[in-house]
């Protein structure tokens, strides 16, 4: 892996961002196939109730897994900073602490998911016809969620070192495996939604094994030596200081999405399946956002570690503007072809109509959420994770929930429920513009180090 790591502290800014983001894009694309293939096979084989159970899984899975995924962003930023500084001792400690903490978190997420999701489904007003399949799908999925958690840890290590190619290879292999197993379990063996969940778990386990096999054999600085996997408490403190605000942001935002999902559930199984299918497709629309955000965050982290402030600032703005442009191009295409795309998932004309309605209302505003996500990633790369947490959770959770409870749900109008998304995206957009205009994020880590000394 030595020839795959990339120092972004010298050379063309645009070239580094593009070469790092492109494999991330393709990797995110194949990762998104996990859930979409499940929905395609289930919707066209098992019917609309089973489709509703699988397609509406995103908000709950993101609630439970999102906290830990966000937290591990902190570990990635710490590793990127020490890689930029070329501090081998702390880099090794960061890698092994991340792996140890990931193992602990994977067990916790698995237990929590298996035990708690039935309660969440009831709180979401899940229709009775959908409940048995939803519970079954979640329990199988969360039984093996440790593989997803540990893969995210490994991917964060690769990406912090400037290597976005190996995660791409592993995701391609596991995604192909997922497609084959979905068809085998559901169409071949006649299994239900449990077959879709099992296919996902096995595929995630494969990507996890491949990633750690590579990290264990590496001769580079990020090598994982299992006998050294343990918690370094000062390093863990740094990981948590950066990661917990991001994790809370993901987790709390999922609460807002769950409230929105429960509001949509009130319109029946067709609306639930249609909007759930839209969210599956939305994951593809957000590929450019996620890729640009990770690239900008890693670039900023490495360059600030190397004291290259001008490069960090230039990379941040190129990442943000590029992210907005790509996201909006995707949104326009999605708006034009929404009915054709949603209909691929089956479920009937009513489900397609609900999904296309959802898409055509919100996708014109993707540039807003693109700017907010990428700006938040830049600030996390600069060591400032609390500010984006407050901005995003305050808007996407608190304000959105208040809007849904006091305005949208009492109206009984589906479009008012859906408008909660672009309205709150606009608020975060404005707030991040204010932060970038008034806050000296480039020198935050220097001020913090000076204060500690």
Write out pLDDT tens, residues 304-331.
Answer: 888 899 999 999 999 999 999 999 999 9
CA distance 332 to 364: 6
Is residue 235 within a helix (H) or strand (E), and if so which, with residue range? helix 233-265
The mean per-residue pLDDT over the stretch 158-172 comes to 85
| Across 347-357, average pLDDT | 87
- pLDDT confidence band for 1 (50 / 70 / 90): very low
Task: Give the confidence band of 2 by pLDDT, cuts at 50, 70, 90.
Answer: very low
The pLDDT score that the predictor gives to residue 232 is 92
CA–CA distance from 7 to each of 82, 323, 364 (Å)? Answer: 12, 22, 36
What local confidence, expressed as pLDDT, does residue 180 receive?
Answer: 92
> In this predicted structure, what is the pLDDT of residue 270?
82
Tokens linked to 152 = 């995210």
Instruction: Decide which of 181 and 306 is more confident.
Output: 181
Angle at 428 between CA 446 and CA 320, to 5 degrees: 60
pLDDT at 35: 62
Binned at pLDDT 50, 70 and 90, residue 119 comes out as confident
How does residue 383 score in pLDDT terms, banded at 50, 70 and 90?
confident
Across the range 436-440, mean pLDDT stands at 92
What is the DSSP secondary-structure string of 334-389?
A: HHHHHHHHHHTT-S-HHHHHHHHHHHHHHGGGHHHHHHHHHHHHHHHHTT--HHHH
Q: What is the largest CA-CA distance in the chain?
A: 65
Q: How many residues does the chain have?
A: 453
What's the confidence (pLDDT) of residue 6?
67
pLDDT tier, 64 (very low <50, low <70, confident <90, very high otherwise): low
| Torsion angles phi and psi, residue 109, rounded to 5 | -65, -40
């Amino acid at each position: 892996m030595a020839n795959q790591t990339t120092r972004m502290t010298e050379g063309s800014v645009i070239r580094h961002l593009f070469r790092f983001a492109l494999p991330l894009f393709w990797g995110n694309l194949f990762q998104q196939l996990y859930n979409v293939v499940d929905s395609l096979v289930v919707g066209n084989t098992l019917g609309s109730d089973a489709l509703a159970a699988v397609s509406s899984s995103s908000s709950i899975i993101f609630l439970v897994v999102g906290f830990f995924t966000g937290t591990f962003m902190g570990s990635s930023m710490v590793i990127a900073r020490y890689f930029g500084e070329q501090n081998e001792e702390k880099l090794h400690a960061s890698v092994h602490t991340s792996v140890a903490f990931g193992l602990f978190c994977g067990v916790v997420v698995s237990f929590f998911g298996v035990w708690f999701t039935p309660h969440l489904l009831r709180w979401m007003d899940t229709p009775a016809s959908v409940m048995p399949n939803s519970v079954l799908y979640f329990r199988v999925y969360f039984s093996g969620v440790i593989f997803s958690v540990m893969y995210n840890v490994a991917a964060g290590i690769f990406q912090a070192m400037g290597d976005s190619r190996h995660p791409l290879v592993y995701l391609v292999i596991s995604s192909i495996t997922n497609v084959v197993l979905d068809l085998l379990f559901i169409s071949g063996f006649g299994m239900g939604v449990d077959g879709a969940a099992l296919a996902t778990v096995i595929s995630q386990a494969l990507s996890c094994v491949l990633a750690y096999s590579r990290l264990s054999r590496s001769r580079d600085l990020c090598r994982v030596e299992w006998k050294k996997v343990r918690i370094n408490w000062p390093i863990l403190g740094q990981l948590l200081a950066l990661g917990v605000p991001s994790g809370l942001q993901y987790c709390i935002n999922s609460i807002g999405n769950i409230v929105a999902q429960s509001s949509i559930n009130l319109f029946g199984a067709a609306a639930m399946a249609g909007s759930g299918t839209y969210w599956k497709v939305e994951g593809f629309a957000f590929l450019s956002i996620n890729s640009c955000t990770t690239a900008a965050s890693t670039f900023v982290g490495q360059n600030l570690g190397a004291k290259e402030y001008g490069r960090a600032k230039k990379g941040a703005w190129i990442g943000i503007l590029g992210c907005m442009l790509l996201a909006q191009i995707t949104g326009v295409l999605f708006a034009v072809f929404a009915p054709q795309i949603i209909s691929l998932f089956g479920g009937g004309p009513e489900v397609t109509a609900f999904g296309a309605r959802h898409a055509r209302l919100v996708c014109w505003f993707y540039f807003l959420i693109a700017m907010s996500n990428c700006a938040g990633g830049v600030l996390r790369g600069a060591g400032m994770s609390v500010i984006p947490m407050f901005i995003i959770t305050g808007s996407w959770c608190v304000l959105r929930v208040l809007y849904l409870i006091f305005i949208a749900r009492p109206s009984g109008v589906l479009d008012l429920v859906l408008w909660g998304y672009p309205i709150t995206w606009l608020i975060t957009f404005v707030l991040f513009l204010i932060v970038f205009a008034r806050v000296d994020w480039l020198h935050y880590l220097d001020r913090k180090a000076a204060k500690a000394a």
